[in-house]
Amino acid sequence: MTVRRRFVLVDVFADRPLAGNPLAVFPEAQGLDADALQSLAREMDHAATAFLFPSAVPGAAFRLRIFSRDREMPFAGHPALGAHFVHAVEAGIPAETRLLRVAHEGDGGALVRVEVAVEGGRVAMLRLTQSAPVSGLPLDSDTVARVAQALGLAEEEIQAANQPVQVVSTGLPVLIVPVATLSGLHRARPRYDRLREVLEGRDASVVYAFTKETIAARSTAHARAFDIGGSVEVPGAGAAAGALSAYLVANAAVTVTPVTSLVIEQGHALNRPSTLRAEVRVKGAGAVTQVVVGGRVVRIGEGVLEV
């Protein structure tokens, strides 16, 4: 029996169509098992695909499952924002609404909170609250040399940044790699097999290389995200941007205030420029207590799969 499944295409962290990170959202995924979800994600062939299910968790608008081309992901930023964009638009937004505070059921039944800013009845911006950061120990010099080689960079291009190479997680473990210059970061050509060898046993599934040299004057950092599981570069990575924002604040690599605002540019190497906006809250001696990452979402179209 043929089953029709509707999907909506959006670009996340995009200021215009055909930029940012493309995402397919299936707003009515009930009745599909994990094998079917994986097959659909592979068919859509994006970095991630979002599937919405009804939720019985109090306060959750829906249950969200996220699949890359080859695996289910416990958390990712752009699928969460894209899913909430589609849900809000299809549920209808009263004209007088200015801000929606919503949540979905994530991995393990946890509530994941999102703010939806509305202007003139249209979604203007979405912001996702991520987990409190957890940081691993800085990598030793020998391992940093291996990371540099795996990225196709000279070790000096990383060491000259004078910042640690370490795994940081605000929901998804990410290896943060500082690069001294924008030209150096643009030269990076990852060897995914070697990156997997370096990260074996470290839980990180994304390498997020960044430099403080930027294209736009408003930006705090320029970044590139390399998904080592899928062996592909990702144009806009919300979970990785959250980890980087916490890292920059924790290492005093930016001017730190009780609420530090950052802008991360990404995706230029793929001709899909992405703008990720973050807020990092600190208290006391500078301990990070909250990380929020957001951006704009643009609807591109929709379609139906017959499977």
In this predicted model, what pLDDT tens digit does every residue of 20-74 receive, in sequence order?
A: 999 999 999 999 999 999 999 999 999 999 999 999 999 999 999 999 999 999 9
Distance separating alpha carbons of residues 120 and 242, to the nearest angstrom: 29
Bigger pLDDT: 95 vs 162:
162
Mean pLDDT of 148-158: 97
* Per-residue model confidence (pLDDT) at position 284: 77
Distance separating alpha carbons of residues 230 and 225, to the nearest angstrom: 12
Mean pLDDT of 2-27: 95
Mean pLDDT of 214-240: 96
* Per-residue model confidence (pLDDT) at position 75: 92
Mean pLDDT value across the chain: 95
pLDDT band at 128 (very low <50, low <70, confident <90, very high): very high
Mean pLDDT of 270-283: 97
* Per-residue model confidence (pLDDT) at position 1: 66
pLDDT band at 96 (very low <50, low <70, confident <90, very high): confident
**Which two three-digit tokens encode residue 226?**
């390399």
Smallest CA-to-CA distance from 224 within 238, 213, 212, 235 is with 235
Q: Which residue has the tokens 């930023």?
A: 77
Q: pTM of this prediction?
A: 0.94
- Cα of first residue to Cα of last residue in the chain, in angstroms, is 8
pLDDT band at 286 (very low <50, low <70, confident <90, very high): confident
Q: Does 250 score more than 90 pLDDT?
A: yes
* Per-residue model confidence (pLDDT) at position 285: 73
* Per-residue model confidence (pLDDT) at position 95: 78
* Per-residue model confidence (pLDDT) at position 39: 96
pLDDT band at 100 (very low <50, low <70, confident <90, very high): very high
What percent of the chain lies above the pLDDT cut of 90?
Answer: 92
Smallest CA-to-CA distance from 30 within 57, 63, 2, 75 is with 63
In the chain, what are the domains? 4-130+296-306 (3.10.310.10), 134-295 (3.10.310.10)
